[in-house]
Amino acid sequence: MSEIKTLQPTLLWKWFSQICAIPHPSYHEEQIAQFIVHWAKGKGFYAERDEVGNILIRKPASAGMENHVPVALQAHLDMVPQANEGTVHDFTKDPIQPYIDGEWVKAKGTTLGADNGIGMASALAVLDSDDLVHPPLEVLLTMTEESGMEGAIGLRPNWLQSEIMINTDTEENGEIYIGCAGGENANITLEIERKLNTFEQSYQLILKGLAGGHSGGDIHTGRANAIKVLARFLAKLTQDKPDFQFALSDIRGGSVRNAIPREAFATLAFNEDLATLQQAVSEFEGILKHELVKVEPNLSLTLKPVENADTVFSQNTTQKVIHLLNVLPNGVIRNSDALENVVESSLSIGVLRTEENEIKGTILIRSLIHSGNRYIGSLLKSLAALTGAEMTLSGYYPGWEPHNDAPIVGLTEKVYADVLGYAPVVKVIHAGLECGLLKKIYPDMDMVSIGPTIRNAHSPDEKVHIPAVQTYWALLTKLLAAIPAK
């Protein structure tokens, strides 16, 4: 971890190293929150937490900037906890282990937490610095963004005093985000009818090695969803080999709602010749490797023997589960009419679990427009009605409507062009930023989102580009110095 402290800018990387050392997955941000508040109060800053745990820190303007427009820097405290198969890591107790690999910082076997740890580190570095030029400053650090934006939802009005907000959750160097998709959880539940297991043997079907990634930012890339691929195989097995009788005793995949699942598992109980199943698995793996040769070069589909469970799903439940998951829409539903090369609406099943008496799945719906969310929700409710499942919608958060004419957008463009030597791209993204919720609570606040290049967020392949962090820091500090007088 000390290795990354040698990188430039020193203050930012010092803070990111500290953030990595303190566990902070969603719903477990208390330790890092207390550390930050204690540090801020020790520096003499105003530091307060609200009812849901969000942190607000205020720092006076640097000399000569007292009458300039006040600015809030915003980041979220939590990170997505994802580990590679075989990596033993307790995200609630163990530190992230970052390391340098060429021009990138990565983590050993887990997500890095550059989303949004680099943004948080940059805000804390600005607070920590004694020689930066900046207006009256606020830093807002929100709770539990990755699991439903609960901190932003619970933020109270009139707490912040700033007129401009700079969100730090962008993941592409040279881009300025001025709008984003809204989202909603679709929770699907199917009751399990069980029966005594009279089959002779059980094997677990294991799909792993998929790329995964962000279920908004990467949804257009063609990366495979492990849950959907597994369902496709089971449906194909049922249809192509009707004489091969089997029952499921378990099916699961994914671990967080906002990541494309990289792994999925199903346990099959059966009497028939194992060779029939092995042949089907081998053939299907070949099909997948042909179809996904570029986007999923590391996929594998294998079988391993497991102990026979006492009970299995009935044939009715087994078939319902397979066909429900196989027909479940997933991926891009529609591209935007108004914005070129931008996804308008999508959905992704992120988590599937078998419990004692029911199977539960969590799907994240995203859309730039409210009607898009409603349409996909309606699709899923119709599907549930046809299959006897229950479907509920929860955790809606609004999109962030772009305002190209906001003064901070033009100023950010100008400063970024000076830093880059070329014009940045101003765009709307198909991912959820807290700006949509924050804009609803603070409608008069102008907002932009910036950040360095981060690849494969929400997966253990996550990495942040070191030169892009230097560019981002130059942009952020020059932008703060360029904030106009009131």
Find the catalytic residue in 29, 115, 145, 250: 145
Residue 447 near residue 167 (C-beta atoms within 8 A):
yes
Count of all residues that appear for the chain in the document: 486
In the numeric block, which tokens belong to residue 55? Answer: 């942190």
Residue 78 near residue 145 (C-beta atoms within 8 A):
yes
**CA-CA-CA-CA torsion for 437, 439, 442, 448, nearest 10 degrees?**
120
Strands (E), 32-94: 46-49, 55-59, 71-76
Assess whether 103 carries a catalytic annotation.
no
Assess whether 145 carries a catalytic annotation.
yes
311-313 and 331-335 strand pairing: unpaired
Rounded Cα distance, 137 and 378, in Å: 44
Residue 56 near residue 50 (C-beta atoms within 8 A):
yes
What is the b/e burial string over 289-301, where b = at least 16 CB atoms within 10 angstroms of the residue's CB?
eeebeeebeebeb
As to burial, measured by CB atoms within 10 angstroms (0-12 exposed, 13-18 middle, 19+ buried), residue 116 is buried
Q: Which residue has the tokens 């952020």?
A: 476
Rounded Cα distance, 73 and 475, in Å: 13
Active site positions, annotated: 78, 145
